[in-house]
Amino acid sequence: MAHEFAFYDGAIGPEGKRRTVTSYGPVIGGLPIRAWHCEVCGLLRLTYPDGRTEERRLFPGPQPGLLAEPSPVAPEREKFGMQARVSGLSAQPAYIEELVRERGLTQLPLRLPRIEIMLPDWDAVTWLTVAGLVGIIVALFLAAVLAVYTFSTPAIELPLVIVTTGIFVGVMVFRLGAAAVRHFFPAQPLRPSIAETARGKPQLDATTRTVIALLVLAVVGLFAAGILAVYAPATPGAEWPVFLASMACAVVAVLLKLGDALWRHFGPH
């Protein structure tokens, strides 16, 4: 039998052997099986999720590999990023977490929240403007701190204010220039792509249309032959002619397409 998650409840059998009870056994259809095993008589009792029960008689005594100690740590998932396995089937992470909560085996590992930063969809002019304004805010904050943190104003205060004023003037000139360029020299609209200008209905030659029609007849004929073969206890007499006609359409379609390809390759151009 496959490995199962189990725990020992400390119950003592008639002969002094400890009985083993499993909280969760194999997984069928995504749901665990509750199992109970006695090492004295070898009885294995399984309770399915839908209420059905099943009993199996094993050899008395311990069964190595039948039951395993419960563990909330799945090496496949924690170390290699794969799904945890129980009895050869995939076990969802919620199953392991529920096992931990019910039995109080250990604390769940610390999970850091996933941080996603969504940047706004701005153009280059807006990004440069925002960067300049942020620089102005930082420079003004430093100028304010330098102006009050000591009794005398430091010598760097005046150059810092001049640089901040220059950045502000530069940002304003840059925005006015960008607006003027967009107004007096507007960008031309993009031309439609070739996929839009050359779009049209597919043009099929006579050979391709004939092949498609024959393949459709073959598929319809084989479908009808399948229905004729199973709808009655005795196979009707029309089964064989319909099957032959369907296969003939398919063979003719293959020969036509093969002949057309050879003619295109070796024929005169």
DSSP-derived secondary structure for 142-210:
HHHHHHHSSSS--TTHHHHHHHHHHHHHHHHHHHHHHHHHHHHSPPPPPPPPHHHHT-------HHHHH
Query: Does residue 92 sit in the same domain as residue 132?
Result: no
* Assigned domain for 9 exists: no
Q: From the CB of residue 268, how many other CB atoms can be counted at a distance below 10 Å?
A: 4
Question: What is the pTM (predicted TM-score) of this model?
Answer: 0.33
Name the domain count of the chain. Answer: 3
Q: Which SS3 state, helix, strand or coil, does residue 250 take?
A: helix
Give the residues of the chain that fall short of pLDDT 70: 1-34, 48-51, 64-96, 99-100, 103-111, 195, 202, 269
pLDDT of the residue at 9: 33
CB 34 within 8 A of CB 9: no
Across the strands, what pairs with 46? 35, 54
Q: Which residues contact 43 (CB under 8 A, 6 or more apart)?
A: 36, 37, 55, 56, 57, 58
* Assigned domain for 6 exists: no
Query: Does residue 179 sit in the same domain as residue 211?
Result: no
Q: What share of the chain is helix, strand, coil (3-state, %, to 5)?
A: 45, 10, 40
Q: Which residues contact 82 (CB under 8 A, 6 or more apart)?
A: 76
Residue 159 token pair: 């150059």
28 φ, ψ (degrees, to nearest 5): -125, 125
Q: Which SS3 state, helix, strand or coil, does residue 20 take?
A: strand
* Assigned domain for 39 exists: yes
Query: Does residue 44 sit in the same domain as residue 79?
Result: yes
Query: Does residue 218 sit in the same domain as residue 173?
Result: no
Predicted confidence (pLDDT) per residue in 154-189, tens digit: 888 899 999 999 999 999 999 999 999 988 888 777
pLDDT of the residue at 95: 65
* Assigned domain for 110 exists: no
* Assigned domain for 143 exists: yes
* Assigned domain for 165 exists: yes
* Assigned domain for 57 exists: yes
Across the strands, what pairs with 22? 35
pLDDT of the residue at 21: 39
Predicted confidence (pLDDT) per residue in 68-87, tens digit: 455 556 555 666 666 555 44
* Assigned domain for 14 exists: no
Where in the sequence is the domain holding 233, given as residue range(s)?
Answer: 206-266
